[in-house]
Homo-oligomer: A and B are copies of this chain.
């Protein structure tokens, strides 16, 4: 449970002023993409576990403007401002990018952290215009640190912005693996319907043929349609349900990075196909290549795909530990805490 989250413009009057340093997490989503929900959840769990000194306050992205106003009234130099991680820095999701610019360019006197993101500004006049807007906004904040969740994004952030850039995995990989011991049955296709989609239907049909030996085959997306909105109060239960769903499967076929992450956490065999600009591929190669029951591929040949699927489905579950890879983020926040002591 977060200490506090802001959903209305009345928030300023009810924000706690108890003297503890505050960690303001902006950009918290209410939309039903469970990948993004898991990112928010993991960020909160990270701060609560590693830095319990902070009062953790979540500001919903829907209320970004009023949230900024509310926080401006009570923020002090001991507080940290952050914006949620994910895969939406750049020109593909201008709502998020606009909210991010507003936060970064407002709290220019506070340690400000852009949580682990991948980044993609399109090489079009529109994309480049968006990039200039972000460059101008981020530049205003000399205390802003960007965190990249893959090396390609690290390079892009370093060459796009003047801010310092840290390198960690996606926040969801901070969460501990879970053991459910369900009897696994069936293959689940977890596929995008949005603009990043590149996997074609004939390829997915041949994957179905590969996996069809009488086992149930279902299709879904990590974007839920069973609920309209998710709040910090409801997301953990929905996240647990998502993991349970994955833990029931023999195999996950997906083009969603976070479906691979949920497969990692639940020990579920998973094959990830590319999205439109390789964000899943890079995060996989950088952090997860040593995990045996998952793989990334650009392959289209059914014979080779069958070999990969067979290997993944017979792969043994083993321990892994990505927590030390968050060290650069940990050090940044630790150092801040030392300066305010």
Which residues in A have some Cβ–Cβ distance to B below 8 Å?
Answer: 150-152, 154-155, 158-159, 164-165, 167, 278, 282, 285-287, 289-290, 321-322, 324-325, 327-328, 331
Contact = CB atoms under 8 A, between A and B. Distances in A.
A286 B158 CA distance: 13
Interface of A is mostly: helix
A217 to B, nearest CB: 29
Contact of A155 (B154, B278, B287, B328): B287
B164 A167 contact: no
A316 to B, nearest CB: 15
A167 B152 CA distance: 12
A331 B154 CA distance: 16
Contact of A151 (B285, B321, B324, B327): B285
Contacts of A167: 151, 154, 167
Contacts of A150: 151
B285 A158 contact: no
B159 A324 contact: yes
Nearest to A167: B167
A164 to B, nearest CB: 7
Contacts of A282: 285-286
B289 A158 contact: no
A327 B286 contact: no
B321 A152 contact: no
Contacts of A321: 159
A154 B325 contact: yes
17 contacts: A150-B151, A151-B286, A152-B289, A152-B290, A154-B167, A154-B325, A155-B290, A155-B325, A158-B327, A159-B324, A164-B328, A165-B327, A167-B167, A282-B286, A285-B285, A285-B286, A286-B286
A286 B156 CA distance: 11
Given A151-B151, A164-B331, A331-B164, A325 B158 contact: yes
Given A152-B289, A165-B327, A285-B285, 4 more contacts: A151-B287, A154-B325, A159-B324, A165-B328
A322 B154 CA distance: 11
A329 to B, nearest CB: 12
Contacts of A158: 324-325, 327
Nearest to A169: B155
A289 B328 CA distance: 25
A300 B158 CA distance: 35
A15 B328 CA distance: 37
A152 B155 CA distance: 16
A152 to B, nearest CB: 7
A155 B158 CA distance: 20
A250 to B, nearest CB: 27
Contacts of A287: 151, 155
